[in-house]
Structure 1
Amino acid sequence: MAWRKNNTTVQILEAAERGQYGVLAAIVYNVEHITAFVRAAENRRSPLIIQLFPSSLDQTPSLVYAASAAAKNASVPISIHLDHAQNFDQIKHVASKLPFDSIMIDMSHYEREENLGKTETLREFCHARGIAVEAETGRIEGGEDGIMGTEDLEGILTNAEDVEQFISAGVDCLAPSVGNLHGDYGPQGPQLDMDRLRQIYQALAGRARLVLHGTNDFPPELCRACIAAGVTKFNVNKLVLDPWHEYLRANVHKPLTQLMTEGIDVLTQAMEGWMDVMGSSGKA
């Protein structure tokens, strides 16, 4: 498909798979986050995916345009992704009107057949407009900002049949359930089924990129192990934003402009460190 050659998310992740490194797909809540992440990407010469939750489209509707402008003016490849989109009509509006490169169509709160049917319908709509599509197989327990949680559902791990069904639905990226959680992990930390993750990557056979959700509390060595297992896109939120939040809590007494400037510096440095961990530094 010709549109894939011009889609920044697709190109970033295909290059990551060839180069065997990971790309951070970082949630942003404000312009300071965008500034810090783009600055880190340029400093480290790293590709980057900027992510927004659907709630941002209502709370801060101009944020997607700020992210898009920053990406277009950056000296490294940066794409804009909508994470966990669950509203059928909203997804159509976003694909038609807003400057996103990719959308995660999250119908995982439906039973499998309905999940697949809705995903395929929306995938056709998005592909016709040059938008790449990510989907979630199984059910990843937990919840995030503005997202319908699955706390009341039994966690279902992804299997080879799931992979084939979603590949048949035509998705470009697949986010499996391998013991990962949306939100925080317990005292034992993340306990992933790494054999299952490797088997899923093998089952994809180059037909879609492998994505990992639920990276809170991940140590660097686990990130590297996931890259070795085939993961190219790492959705990150708290993992990279914690230093920002800690700085704000400790320095709230400072003037606002100083707080913003120093906060951006703290977040830029944190992001640079994770780009080094992922192996994406120097790859752009």
Structure 2
Amino acid sequence: MPPSGTSNKTLQILEAAEQHGYGVLAAIAYNVEHITALVRAAESRRSPLILQLFPSTLVQLPSLVYAASAACKGASVPISLHLDHAQDENQIRKVVETMPFDSIMVDMSHHEHHENLQKTQELTKLCHQKGIAVEAESGRINGGEDGIADTGELEALFTSPEEVEEFLGVEIDLLAPSIGNIHGDYPPAGPKLDFDRLRSIREQINGRVKIALHGTNDFSPELTKDCIAAGTAKVNVNKLLLECWSKFLKENAHLSIVQIIDQGIEVLQKETERWMVICGSAGRC
């Protein structure tokens, strides 16, 4: 059976968000500095947070998952640890057995539809045996991010009502729909989302799973708020937050390493706090 919303930390966080109409940042971290800034922001703003790692990070920095887990457990506000876009079946099996994640995105969207469902169902059962919540992607969201298979050569598919029911049938806990969102940067015209489709998906699932929004690069505060109002509980962010960190590093390479770390953390913390206010999660803990 899927982990209950009363025992799994990711689902606890998102259940509260859904009940009270706000969104929770699910923020990618690539290093300890990012983790520090994100957790400090959550504690400063009394906001829940989902801390996310990419599968590539587990290979590049194997110990980072344990630093992230310790930060989540030691925080004074609810923070869960999530593995985003896990696409390697063998890695997923290893993670389930050996690593302290609260939730995993089992991303088989680079396979054709039937195989995607079959593999997702098998891996979901494995995760649930360990109390790990599962997110999956219905339809197909085009583009690619760091360490993620680029689906640009595959046809983008908007999530259909039939697909929603099929993914609910494999007992996932979080659904990442395709509504015109893409992984990576948007064209100059910016994001163009199908809000009628998103609202319809929310009505169809009727609380059975939580909605996760991917592809938030170039989102405005207003667009983010509209997505939350239409049913999004989990707001995945990568470049949206970390661009300020990258910009700071480029502009301040002349500083000492200690100054770069201290000031960089402060810059990222402030930007994270700003987005927590935008998402409505500030002051909820």
TM-score (norm 2): 0.98
Deviations 1:41-94, CA, capped at 9 Å, x for gaps: 000000000000000111001111010000000000000000000111111111
The answer to whether the Cα contact below 8 Å between 2:3 and 2:133 also exists between their aligned partners in 1 is: no
CA distance in 1 between partners of 2:240 and 2:147 (Å): 19
CA distance in 2 between partners of 1:154 and 1:167 (Å): 23
SS at structure 2 position matched to 1:198: helix
Gaps of 5+ in 1: none
Shift of residue 96, structure 1, vs aligned partner: 1.1
Partner residue, 1:257: 258
The answer to whether the Cα contact below 8 Å between 2:2 and 2:128 also exists between their aligned partners in 1 is: no
The answer to whether the Cα contact below 8 Å between 2:2 and 2:171 also exists between their aligned partners in 1 is: no
CA distance in 1 between partners of 2:2 and 2:246 (Å): 42
Partner residue, 1:151: 152
Describe how 1:123-138 pairs up with structure 2 within 5 A.
Answer: 123-138=124-139
Q: Which one-letter code corresponds to 1:71 in the other structure?
A: C
CA distance in 2 between partners of 1:2 and 1:123 (Å): 8
Gaps of 5+ in 2: none
Partner residue, 2:166: 165
Describe how 1:216-231 pairs up with structure 2 within 5 A.
Answer: 216-231=217-232
Q: Which one-letter code corresponds to 2:74 in the other structure?
A: N
CA distance in 2 between partners of 1:81 and 1:89 (Å): 17
Q: Which one-letter code corresponds to 1:211 in the other structure?
A: A
Deviations 1:160-201, CA, capped at 9 Å, x for gaps: 111100001100000000000100001111100111111111
Partner residue, 1:109: 110
The answer to whether the Cα contact below 8 Å between 2:143 and 2:150 also exists between their aligned partners in 1 is: yes
Partner residue, 1:236: 237
Shift of residue 2, structure 1, vs aligned partner: 8.5
Deviations 1:222-271, CA, capped at 9 Å, x for gaps: 01100110000011000001111111111010000000000000000000
Shift of residue 3, structure 1, vs aligned partner: 4.1
Shift of residue 150, structure 1, vs aligned partner: 0.5
Percent identity (aligned): 61
**Alignment of 1:190 onto 2:165:** no
Divergent runs of 4+, >4 A: none
Describe how 1:203-222 pairs up with structure 2 within 5 A.
Answer: 203-222=204-223
